[in-house]
Structure 1
Amino acid sequence: MVVARDLEVYDGVHCIADMGTDHYMTLKNMSQAATPWADMALYGKYVTYLLVGIVFAGTVKHYVFSNYDVDRVRGGPARIMEKLTAYSRFIVYRRLPSKICHRLGLPSSVGSLLLIGLVTLYSLLWCFVPHPYYRACLGFGSPPLGVRSGMMSTAFVPFVFILSGKTNLIGFLTGISHEKLNKYHQTASILCLFFGWVHTIPFYIQNSKEGGTARLHQKMYATPVYVSGIPPIIFLTLLWVGSLRIVRRFWYEAFVSLHWVLAIGFYISLFYHVYGLLNADKYMVATIVIWCAQLFYRWFAKGYLRPSRFMRTATARARRVGTPNQKCMEVFVEVPIKCDPGQHIFLKTLDKKVAELHPFSVIPSSNGFKLIVRAYDGFTKHLYDSLESPRDLKVLVDGPYGGVARDVRSFSNIYMLCSGSGITSCLPFIMVYANLIGMPAVPLRTIRMDWILRHAEDVCWIEQELDLIRERYGSLLKSGALDIHIYCCSGETEKVNLFGFEYHNYKPVVADIVKSFQLGSTNCIICSGSQSLKEQVGNAAARLQSQVGNVREVYLHTEEFSF
């Protein structure tokens, strides 16, 4: 066979024509002795060691705070561990400008960025610092750069699939809910894709260098396509393109529908590609075992297959509230559900007009729960447009999920800041925990909520709940143990009865609100709302860490719905 090119190396030896000769085999053995092919499996293990180490550290942190044996009622100065925690929170609670991070597709939290940066830098160093990148001839063995990057890419696969679940092993161990882990799922996916391309390109470069396009064409078709690495890299690239913010903005429902189809195609094709190579298939087996286990747990413990609600639909009463410009809806679902404050559910509507799945924060009641929904694009817009008059919907309820990783009752002071429909995350804390204020066995002494609105009419979203709070906890409102502030940014006067609550007809400075907090011994700040609000509260909470010493703790929890 005639080839267009045949690279010459080492005293006249050609990479193609001399393949199989004694001198060629001697050079091959020398190349393998210097850089053994089998040693490339170690690079996948190096990635796994780091990721498992991070999960272990998160598990220890979760265990320590969940089983904190200090009497939380005790006041006095902070202990050493509490001071060290405050020093770290002074950094990790800070937020970078959300507009810049949003455009770059990065989380604004400094803590998340530092963790992502650590994993990225560690992986890049292990991939690109070792040499050589290539062998003299491809016949001497696969390019070391290609093999080690391929093993590193495969090592990320179990974490990509594990982190994708609403209930997942990492979330169970670390106490971090799925919506907060989603940024790490995206990061692991991007690194998996990046190292997948780094794995692919050296093979094309080496074949082209040795024998030109003819050799490249020959090698491409020498292996069945279902065994080659082409299908998995295509599937993973399509997943990445579909996850881009600009794509999700306009075709989110299409992306959600195709997401799992592409993911399953990626998994199957990658399994064929790596089977029997450097034990890489063990990563794939671990992936499917853990992923299926957590999927079945979700179905039977949280989802539609739970014994108490096996594929049982519920009735949801939906109606528009407020003015047409607000595009707000109230949905009441008649399903008794045990839901902790700050948790959310996924609501799947079984309606001819609207059939989608979407997460919502929950306001629980005795015979069901209430949702406050703002119409934006996609599902919520379609639902709002279908509500020309109040009507019933058939729905399936999946959840609850999320919530605060810490026991909120163990804090002496709870401070909540929310904007717009973020009130649905904060209000349940008052309705559930206000009756604990002053109880001898519970350290909780004060609850304060600051709600920032655009228009005074928005108060009507939770008018019934405010009346209930006034009726149940009037004495706490008078004493100041329960303090509720409502801010109207448009400067309008109040439109409903807000007796007992502080109403302000101006746009507040969030930093000033946080500065006004009268910190107790242990403090929990909860934030739900716009990215701008979370950015300001995060930076303010970071500055409050300087108070630790006089107080024992300032803890921040933010609601995340960026997935």
Structure 2
Amino acid sequence: MTPEQIALIGERWHDWYTADWDYGLTTVEFFCAGIGTMMLLYLVSLWRHRASARRARSTFRAAGILDRFTAAFRYVTSMQLRYKPLGYYSPPMGSVVGVAGIFTFVMAFALAVRPYYWPNYQMGHSPPLATRSGWISIAIMPFMIAFATKVNYVGIITGASHERLQVFHRWSALLMYITSLLHTFPFIVTNIDMGDMVHMYKTTPWYWSGIAALIPQTWLVLMSWGIIRSRYYEIFKKLHFCASGIFMVALFIHCNFRLTSWDYFWATLAIYSTAWLIQVSRTLYNSSFGLPYTLEQLSDPDMVKVTITVPARFRWSPGQHVLLRFLTLSHLSAFSTHPFTIANAAASASESGHTDSSTVTRAVEIVFRVRGGITRTLQEAALRRTGGGRVLLDGPYGGLPVSLRGYDRVYLLAGGSGASSPTLPLLQDLARGFGAGGGRCAHVEFVVAFRHPGTRRWLEPAIAEAAARAAAAGVHFSAHVHVTRTAENADLESIESFSSDVKEVEVGSGSSDKTAVRTDADRPDLPRLVREACASRLGGRVAFAVCGPEAFMYDVRNAVAECQLDIADGYSRCEEIFLHTEAYDW
């Protein structure tokens, strides 16, 4: 080697013996910095919400500097893109920006330093590109797993539910795969050039173990694309765990205790195992060896209701979901869990006529649209009137980071079965807070669109209860029901009858001027609804909670983003606009 080459292999970013510190730890610091930033933003948002919620109901003020900055940030993060010819909807721009930032860092970090190959093989048999990309790859691994767990440590400190972090799990897995390829091919090129490829494969554990890890990793990445994952989710989930186990074992052998490589495995094991133990322990604590449930076919032929009797110790908040494992439904159903949003708000001890909350027997209601798989099996059991058995309940998960009771005006927008996930329990929770010192909310609008007129029947009790409570408390409440497909006039007559029934409740309370229920056989104009709500002279703090199909969510997200820009520019009467969205799946 020349004196320059000798000096080069001892420099930082080139020294093989400190590559784990230079590249591995720097990658860890990058991910920790990003997560820490989101944690700080979450804490600031909680502080702002609590400070605003403590003000008197009639106290409105213009948006301040922090409000305008928040609105500008939400404008960027809440927007969504779509490509109509393929029916493609991107994740919210916040996720897109986050993924783009991770991708830019990883690729720049791997490719910015030169040279990629040693000009003299006496400088080392590990090409610089292969060395640095290997450490970047192994450093991504703990975070890839951390983004995937149901009991999610990243979500706990950033206020994001586990399903919202799945996009980072999938993209960090893809980046780990790309850096694994950048680690693999330089070795192949170098060893072929040196003429010892076959000899190295036969005499060292690193080559065969590397291939043994790369094959299942390739499977994991290819099979995780949405078009495959969504269509064959049940088999995908089982094979995903099998392939992950093979990959981790092969990669563990491949690293062979080089420098600090196994430290990343201990970190990954700690994250996954503790999250899994908490999840299993909580499930057994809440469910013992199974909770009783019943099934009911609703008036909408495509919707089924599951009612689970839960102990008093199980508590949940509106908008949360659970994972259900049906033990007695079929032989296969006991081997997998399925996510369902809870369709009712928990009743308090006072509302149940008890003074001690520990004596309250609660019921968790799940309402879902039948799509196939486990939902089809549940419907068949309900139609046979043999529905019932025992189920393990894991959760609750997700929900809103703040209470909607702290906002001046709340708009609950739902499409299809989204009426039960999570807008209906949010409506119930808001109604129970009317006039009870439970919040400052003085204006609630509930807008729901569905295809089958029979869907409205299981909405009747919640809307009637909200109308009665709002009228008694002097809160403005309106419900707008849109039936997007009506086949017979009898259906329209039943819808009009439903509206009349609710209005009778309002009139009987003596405050019918503050409540209204409308029913139309059309689709809601969501962008117009959002713009009018945000341009209202009422001003104040406004919240939107939305659940529905992708097109439904797209219209609301982008309309709210436009209104956020008005606050940032100082032209809006609103002090703050909060948006919470729930997708059908993740």
TM normalised by structure 1 equals 0.87
Partner Cα distance (1:62, 1:161) in 2 = 22
Residue 525 of structure 2 corresponds to residue 503 of structure 1: no
Q: Secondary structure at the match of 1:449?
A: strand
Alpha-carbon distance, 1:120 to partner = 0.4
Letter in structure 2 aligned against 1:495: S
Q: Which shifted more, 544-553 or 337-346? A: 544-553
**Match of residue 188 from structure 1:** 172
Query: Could you tell me whether the CA contact under 8 Å between 2:448 and 2:480 is conserved in 1?
Result: yes
**Match of residue 389 from structure 1:** 384
Alpha-carbon distance, 1:138 to partner = 4.7
Q: CA RMSD in A?
A: 2.5
Alpha-carbon distance, 1:222 to partner = 1.8
Count of aligned residue pairs for this structure pair: 527
Alpha-carbon distance, 1:456 to partner = 1.8
Q: Secondary structure at the match of 2:31?
A: helix
Pairs within 5 Å for 1:109-508 = 109-138=92-121, 140-141=123-124, 142-211=126-195, 215-224=196-205, 228-301=209-282, 304-306=283-285, 308-310=286-288, 312-324=289-301, 327-336=302-311, 337-353=314-330, 355=333, 356-364=336-344, 366=347, 367-390=362-385, 391-424=387-420, 425-438=422-435, 442-475=439-472, 481-490=476-485, 493=492, 495-496=494-495, 497-498=498-499, 499-500=502-503, 501-508=517-524
CA offset digits 1:520-540 (Å, max 9, x no partner): 411111111111111111001
Partner Cα distance (1:455, 1:361) in 2 = 21
**Match of residue 40 from structure 1:** 19
Q: Secondary structure at the match of 2:269?
A: helix
Partner Cα distance (1:127, 1:100) in 2 = 36
**Match of residue 585 from structure 2:** 562
Query: Could you tell me whether the CA contact under 8 Å between 2:200 and 2:207 is conserved in 1?
Result: no
**Match of residue 354 from structure 2:** none
Alpha-carbon distance, 1:378 to partner = 2.3
2:531 pairs with one of 510, 515, 518: 515
Query: Could you tell me whether the CA contact under 8 Å between 2:431 and 2:469 is conserved in 1?
Result: no
Q: Which shifted more, 234-243 or 157-166? A: 234-243
Q: Secondary structure at the match of 1:444?
A: coil
**Match of residue 12 from structure 1:** none
Query: Could you tell me whether the CA contact under 8 Å between 2:131 and 2:183 is conserved in 1?
Result: yes
Partner Cα distance (2:493, 2:182) in 1 = 60
Q: Which shifted more, 425-434 or 362-371? A: 362-371
Q: Secondary structure at the match of 2:439?
A: coil
Letter in structure 2 aligned against 1:253: E
Residue 77 of structure 2 corresponds to residue 92 of structure 1: yes
Alpha-carbon distance, 1:99 to partner = 5.4
Q: Which shifted more, 79-88 or 493-502? A: 493-502
If each structure's helix is expressed as a fraction of its own residues, which one has the higher value? 2
Q: Secondary structure at the match of 1:538?
A: helix
Q: Which shifted more, 368-377 or 117-126? A: 368-377
Q: Secondary structure at the match of 1:493?
A: helix
Unaligned runs of 5+ in 2: 348-361, 504-516
Q: Secondary structure at the match of 1:452?
A: strand
Query: Could you tell me whether the CA contact under 8 Å between 2:147 and 2:166 is conserved in 1?
Result: yes
Q: Secondary structure at the match of 2:544?
A: strand
CA offset digits 1:41-62 (Å, max 9, x no partner): 2122222222111110111111
Letter in structure 2 aligned against 1:452: A
Residue 552 of structure 2 corresponds to residue 533 of structure 1: yes
Q: Which shifted more, 250-259 or 192-201? A: 250-259
Unaligned runs of 5+ in 1: 1-23
Alpha-carbon distance, 1:453 to partner = 1.2
Q: Which shifted more, 552-561 or 452-461? A: 452-461
Query: Could you tell me whether the CA contact under 8 Å between 2:149 and 2:275 is conserved in 1?
Result: yes
Q: Secondary structure at the match of 1:406?
A: coil
Query: Could you tell me whether the CA contact under 8 Å between 1:226 and 1:269 is conserved in 2?
Result: no
Q: Which shifted more, 336-345 or 186-195? A: 336-345
Partner Cα distance (1:217, 1:238) in 2 = 25
Shift in alpha-carbon separation, 1:235–1:100, aligned structure 2, 3 A = farther
TM normalised by structure 2 equals 0.84
Alpha-carbon distance, 1:320 to partner = 2.2
Alpha-carbon distance, 1:93 to partner = 1.1
Partner Cα distance (2:405, 2:470) in 1 = 17
Query: Could you tell me whether the CA contact under 8 Å between 1:375 and 1:384 is conserved in 2?
Result: yes
Q: Which shifted more, 181-190 or 63-72? A: 63-72
Could you tell me the percent identity over the aligned residues? 25
Q: Secondary structure at the match of 2:559?
A: helix
Query: Could you tell me whether the CA contact under 8 Å between 1:418 and 1:527 is conserved in 2?
Result: yes
Query: Could you tell me whether the CA contact under 8 Å between 2:205 and 2:254 is conserved in 1?
Result: no
